[in-house]
């Protein structure tokens, strides 16, 4: 199923739910701190769902676990309901600024009924990169 989703690269998320049974409602908190409720469905990839609704979640590497731009904070009650991150995801999370215990990559979260009402918070733009003596990042 994930392979099919990867090939479609966001096509699936642009389809509306076929029935109310499929619906999974979640809320994004965007970079400005605004609540953005979104009506998704079972099987939706959070990154592509965010793109459909204009949520500013970047996906530079297009869900291939080669960047950390889709970093989100998962509401604590829901963190354990997500499937365990793969080693590759953990490796990429290591590079995300503002890493917290409830951090995940959005492109690895697939919606299910368990995740109904989940809140996902986008990290706010930090000023790390403009302070003298900035935090060294690997490259």
Partner 1 sequence: MWSRTTKNIKNVVSYFRTVNFSSQVVCHQKVCIVGSGPAGFYTAQHLLKNCPTLEIDMFEKLPVPFGLVRYGVAPDHPDVKNVINTFTAIAKSGRLQFVGNVTVGKDVTLNDLRNAYDVVVLAYGAAQDRWLGISGENLCNVVSARKFVGWYNGLPEESHLKFDLDAETAVIIGQGNVALDIARILLTPIDMLKKTDIAQHALEALSQSKIKNVKIVGRRGPLQVAFTIKELREMIKLPGNSYRIHLENPEFIDACLPKTSRPRKRLTELMLQSSSIKRSEEDSSKQWELIFHRTPIKIVGDSNANKVNGLVVGINHLTGDDWENPQVEDTGLRETIPCGMILKSIGYKSLPLSDELPFDHAKGIIRQTEGRVEGMQGVFCSGWVASGPVGVIASTMQSGHDVGKRIIEDLKNGIVGTGTRKPGRDAILSQLEARNVEPVTFVEWEALDNEERERGKYQKKPREKIVDVREMIDIAKKGQS
Chain residues in the site for partner 1 (CB under 8 A): 7, 9-11, 14, 32, 48, 51-54, 56, 58-62, 64-69, 88, 90-92, 94-97, 99, 125-130, 134, 136-139
From the number of C-beta atoms within 10 Å of its C-beta (0-12, 13-18, 19+), residue 121 rates as middle
Q: Which is nearer to partner 1, 92 or 111 (CB)?
A: 92
Task: Kindly state the smallest distance separating residue 21's Cβ from partner 1, in Å.
Answer: 26
Task: Kindly state the smallest distance separating residue 43's Cβ from partner 1, in Å.
Answer: 17
Q: Which is nearer to partner 1, 20 or 135 (CB)?
A: 135
Q: Which is nearer to partner 1, 9 or 112 (CB)?
A: 9
DSSP state, 45? B
Task: Kindly state the smallest distance separating residue 54's Cβ from partner 1, in Å.
Answer: 3
Task: Kindly state the smallest distance separating residue 128's Cβ from partner 1, in Å.
Answer: 8
Q: What is the DSSP string of 57-94?
A: ---TT-SSSS--TTEEEEPHHHHTTSPPPPHHHHHHHT
From the number of C-beta atoms within 10 Å of its C-beta (0-12, 13-18, 19+), residue 103 rates as middle
Q: Please, what is the Cα angle at 128 between 28 and 107, to 5 degrees?
A: 35
């Amino acid at each position: 199923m994930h392979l099919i989703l990867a090939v479609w690269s966001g096509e699936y998320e642009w389809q509306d739910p076929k029935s109310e049974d499929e619906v999974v409602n979640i809320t994004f908190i965007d970079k400005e701190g605004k609540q953005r409720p979104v009506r998704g469905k079972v099987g939706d990839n959070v990154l592509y769902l965010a793109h459909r609704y204009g949520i500013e979640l970047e996906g530079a590497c297009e869900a291939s676990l080669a960047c950390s731009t889709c970093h989100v904070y998962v509401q604590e009650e829901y963190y354990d309901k997500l499937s365990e991150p793969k080693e590759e995801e953990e490796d990429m999370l290591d590079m995300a600024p503002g890493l917290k215990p409830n951090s995940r990559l959005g492109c690895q979260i697939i919606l299910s009924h368990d995740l109904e009402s989940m809140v996902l918070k986008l990290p706010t733009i930090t000023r790390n990169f403009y302070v003298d003596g900035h935090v060294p990042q690997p490259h």
